[in-house]
Chains A and B, each alone.
Chain A
């Protein structure tokens, strides 16, 4: 087992290397750089541009060097925890991202829990009561959730939250706590605001998960081994949880691989609509303004999390499913 994990980790290195090259190339592709967009913006506002200062900045950040050299400088920085410099924020990338990371993880964590709590009982109910009124009703609600654009739902929720609870619109906390150090009051304020994005972001995922759980469970419920378990005289609920549900969880575990990157990137548009202080809007701004180190490092974070997520779900699958663990005729 350990040898397997070690080999998998070793394979991750070239994967990530190629990803980083791709990311850098794609960011380099559009003509110009951050400073050109910056100048264009200043000119548009009718302000004077200090050409000399611009030239100084270009040299300072190595933009007079060939891209290949800058790529390796950027990559080399990763090994010492230097992810580059954000021009827009005039701060190191780690400082810009770090602040928002906590809030993002918080929102994502609650979203995932919300999704699971809602999807599991409904999915199991729908599968065991196939074609009943309950199944049809829940399926209908789920499909609406799947079909409604998240940003629209966000607008509706914001309106309702303000109307019914008087919660200030937008953001993850009341405005007075912005840029304040963490305190109990600030935390409570976050808790007060967080349910809106959690519901908005979670709805589509919940609906999708209900459909998949229902389909998987229905497949498994047809299998002969379920009849065998029933024929033993097992209680129907025990039969369900021990056999078909256990088997239908494989897809769910395989999902973990994609959940990890979602934690960081998830739901950019909703975050903009709700003006959440999460990382999603940050990535979009960085890409728009060609703030290349911020964008590049951010995309690399996602790549690393994806690779780790897939590794974790593979290991979990092997632990849970003996057919994967023991395939090939090995003996214990």
Chain B
């Protein structure tokens, strides 16, 4: 372990006396790198003497949380540090296999020097996290991809186009000739990331830096992009520096792992050693903070750092007081056959336009029992957020009913038929927790004002009573009530999410809709928030609708899980059943695509690759919502086992598939 984290020693031992002792066959050696940022005159050291190496043709993963300095290291290697950052010490020795000559010290090169520009994009290239913003919107894909080729290889005109199209084809564009002239906004997120990959690889670099290459993508697309990267890495024989916070991605991709925490390397070594025998406390804690699928009932995530202290619950929360098997008791919420169609104006800005309707939500029905947590899983655009909006009546469905039983003896009320005054009253019983802890809090309101607002709107208590309630709420979510007069910007992401949770709790709701509540948070904070939500659920007897694209998180939280695909529920089952026995091909594809932080359960890239671009083609007929000629099929749920329903063509038997 020691020798790995200190290339100097290793080199000195093995290669004493050879000419290029600086690299010892390593492609890249980062030695004692220190980087400082100038923040309004105050120097802030973000990388504190980091050392690691990258061997040719291997994948090295650099793992850490946000703010750990992992992206800054990649910027140093690329020579694209922001202006206020500078390398204060250390070296980055790059031994280009294409020229056996001298080793280049990237840290000593001027960022804008010609020598650095030749390495950048030509010999070392990078792909970023956000495929939406990483490409220029006003230049075509072909223009942007071929630019590096023209720049570094001096290839021009038709030849450049041919090579670019070949590269686009290699990264999986179905029609590269057409894609060449398309603009980024005409492509899906997955294809954009493929275009980024094509751009990075077109010059055949010796090292590819992948900075969170799949984090912003849906889980099935992520698996495909990871598979593609692995294939290309082997095909081009290049080395890869994979920067990520996702240990599942690491275990599937990396040969060697470097763990970084607060700018310091904690641990480094082959992936086998790191996962099977973690040495450093930080890495052990990191592994324990990630939800995984083999958790025992009642097992809790261990959060990385002590969270804000909360008063101990009155009763131990070991067995949540759930009433989900209460037989005849009516569900708290019953969604019945809701349909919502959006009309999209399709057509050119100049020519005539035609209206096209899209079924955002198509005949969705489900019940949520009192005290239950129902997980709603699906990929972006599947309509899960629209469902949450319909339940809160932010959107009114075209058809169907949303029956809420507030538990006040009045029985079920159909939310879709209420008028504003009645809605206002009933809405206090349904609250939401949002995804973005930054965007969902008004930056010009103090915490006190944010938490008092729902009370003031509903006219609950006088000012003194409201302030008392705010204090109580802050304690409940583990925030110090003394912070009540602060503004949101002085809180971290996790603390802000706690404020969001406190706001949702203010009106004593019975049902809380959690819309991706942890997907914007770091792994360690994520564990804290998930545990908090679990505790609150049992203490306050809350019912959750938990919406997420992260299957592991849903698995940790939910009692039952509903899988949504293209506006429809395709499979609903108890948590344990769904993961043990997924029947719908979409559920299977979702589960197959989850990268586990477990070396013994690698992703099956063969299957994932075979599924790319096939949509429903590989599905058994009974699951396909359309006949061969494109006419929609009548679909209905069949029960494959108790509490486990799957959507198939009406009249079909699931035994046909078996």
Contact = CB atoms under 8 A, between A and B. Distances in A.
A176 B110 CA distance: 63
Contact of A231 (B112, B121, B183, B350): B121
A223 B183 CA distance: 17
A91 to B, nearest CB: 44
Contact of A326 (B118, B136, B183): B183
Interface stretch (B49-57, B146-154, B291-299, B434-442): B146-154
Interface in B404-420: none
A234 B138 contact: no
B350 A227 contact: no
Interface string B362-392: 0000000000000000000000000000000
B144 to A, nearest CB: 8
Q: How large is the interface on B (under 10, 10 to 19, 20 to 34, 35 or more residues)?
A: 35 or more
- Chain A interface mostly helix, strand, loop or mixed? helix
B321 interface: no
A233 B135 contact: no
B135 A231 contact: no
Given A223-B133, A321-B138, A330-B351, A230 B120 contact: yes
B349 A325 contact: yes
Contact of A4 (B78, B126, B345, B351): B351
A328 interface: yes
B134 A318 contact: no
A323 B138 CA distance: 7
Interface in B422-463: none
A101 to B, nearest CB: 34
A277 B350 CA distance: 43
Contact of B151 (A234, A322, A325, A328): A234
Interface string A223-242: 11101111111111000001
Contacts of A1: 350
B346 A247 contact: no
B327 interface: no
Q: Tell me which of B139, B199, B345 has the highest count of chain A C-beta atoms within 10 A of its own C-beta.
A: B139
Contacts of A324: 349
A232 B185 contact: no
A327 B122 contact: no
A3 interface: yes
Contacts of A236: 112
Nearest to A246: B138
Nearest to A6: B350
A231 B78 contact: yes
Contact of A230 (B80, B138, B186): B80
A234 B121 contact: yes
Interface in B146-192: 147-148, 151-152, 181, 183, 185-186
A138 interface: no
B112 A233 contact: no
Contacts of A224: 128, 130, 133-134
A327 B349 CA distance: 7
Given A4-B351, A224-B128, A224-B130, 6 more contacts: A2-B350, A3-B350, A225-B135, A228-B136, A243-B136, A320-B138
20 contacts: A1-B350, A2-B350, A3-B351, A4-B351, A223-B133, A228-B136, A228-B199, A229-B136, A230-B80, A231-B120, A231-B126, A232-B121, A233-B117, A233-B121, A234-B117, A236-B112, A322-B185, A323-B138, A325-B350, A330-B346
